[in-house]
Amino acid sequence: MRVLSTSAFASTTYSIMSGANRYDTMAKLTADMASPYSDVAILATGTNFPDALAASSFAGSLAASKGGSVPVVITDSKSLSSQARTVLINRLKVKKVYLVGGTAALSSTVETQLKSAGIQTSRIAGSARSQTANMLAKAMPVQSNTNTAIIVTGTTYPDALSIAPYAYATRSPIFLTERNTLTPETQATIKSQGLTNAIIVGGTSAVPASVESQLRNSGVTFISRWWGQNRYQTSSVIADNSVKAGVLSYSGSYIATGRNFPDALSAGAVAGSARVPLLLADNTATSALDDHLLSNTNVGSIDRIVFAGGDSAVPPALRQHVTNAISQGGFVYHTPTGQKYHKTSECASLKQSTTKLSCTQQQAQRQGLTACKLCYH
């Protein structure tokens, strides 16, 4: 772990957690998990994402049952990586490991290696990714404290990774769509668990509106959809909604690339244990961060930012953008000819404006703009 600096604006500490490869990064991220640790862990393949998409809620349920943090550890599919061995056997000294996925995801050799180290194993695997998610939901020792099912597409990873901290913290099971629909088995699982609330993650291109009817037929009475125009905006909307619900806090955040899955897969449960969001970001797509995490409304409460991944995953330019925004008071809004800056783009005095610009608070003040009395009172 590298500590970059401390912000003068919010006494924010910035850390980079990265290694030579995804398994080194995982080892550093899991070491950052809130202590104490439980005596169990979840193991998933680091070479593909489908089976592990629903692992975060299962980890949160185990944590609630065992009374300590439960990490999601990744390894090579064919053999237990040296990093996973170090985490599970040497550092955590776990007594039991739950393997998520069949032998194509985690080979029998991996299971044998764990057993040879005196670790009890339990494999949770279905014939398809949605079935694995259903089995994880059924195996949860402590059910959702919000009586909520989380619905995400099973074809891509970003939405499931972004909702992982919320799922961990609330123990809300994640269910995956197959070919844009909920399988009969998934619908039956939701109904049998008596889940009456649902959060659909992503727009209708990710999870079509027809799924809402399937949920209602499964006993769900309240449905909300958390989504944005792309994976980065969806990630920020998830963070905002999680904070507004009182589940997570902007006292910190983990930031990972949205272009690949391994770093975020490990970081999701870690962020969930700390009750802070995991945000997907890209060097060329920062507007979602600017409007949410890095807004003037939020930056004053940020104590810590963790960049999950090295320079190729979270480029220096992106890290610099984040640190500059926080040190300069976060992003505010103004019009091309206005004399005021606003804490939020939804300020009543901005509603009639067709063009809204953003800059940091310090930049606005250097331009001679003064604070809107409606926003700052």
pLDDT in tens, 101-115: 999 999 999 999 999
pLDDT in tens, 161-212: 999 999 999 999 999 999 899 999 999 999 999 999 999 999 999 999 999 9
Please tell me the distance from the alpha carbon of residue 276 to that of residue 287, in angstroms, as a whole number: 20
| Average pLDDT of span 337-363 | 91
Task: Please name which of 18, 74, 26 lies closest in space to residue 309, comparing C-alpha atoms.
Answer: 18
Position of tokens 């003064």? 370
pLDDT in tens, 57-80: 999 999 999 999 999 999 999 999
- In DSSP notation, 209-236 reads THHHHHHHHTT--EEEEE--SSHHHHHH
**pLDDT given for residue 34 in this prediction:** 84
CB count within 10 Å of CB 297 equals 15
Please classify residue 137 by burial: count the beta carbons closer than 10 Å to its beta carbon, then call 0-12 exposed, 13-18 middle and 19+ buried: buried
Position of tokens 């961060």? 289
Residues 308/285, Cβ–Cβ less than 8 Å: no
User: Which DSSP helix (H) or strand (E) runs through 270?
Assistant: helix 262-274
Q: Treating both helix axes as pointing N-terminal to C-terminal, what angle do 55-66 and 129-139 enclose, rounded to 10 degrees?
A: 10
Task: Please name which of 179, 176, 91, 107 lies closest in space to residue 135, comparing C-alpha atoms.
Answer: 176
Please tell me the distance from the alpha carbon of residue 58 to that of residue 263, in angstroms, as a whole number: 19
The DSSP output letter for 34 is P
Residues 129/183, Cβ–Cβ less than 8 Å: no
Please tell me the distance from the alpha carbon of residue 228 to that of residue 358, in angstroms, as a whole number: 19
- Please give the C-alpha separations between residue 128 and each of 44, 55, 222, 239, 267, in angstroms, as whole numbers: 15, 15, 28, 29, 24
pLDDT in tens, 302-340: 999 999 999 999 999 999 999 999 999 999 999 999 999
Please tell me the distance from the alpha carbon of residue 210 to that of residue 258, in angstroms, as a whole number: 27
pTM for this entry: 0.95
CB count within 10 Å of CB 153 equals 22
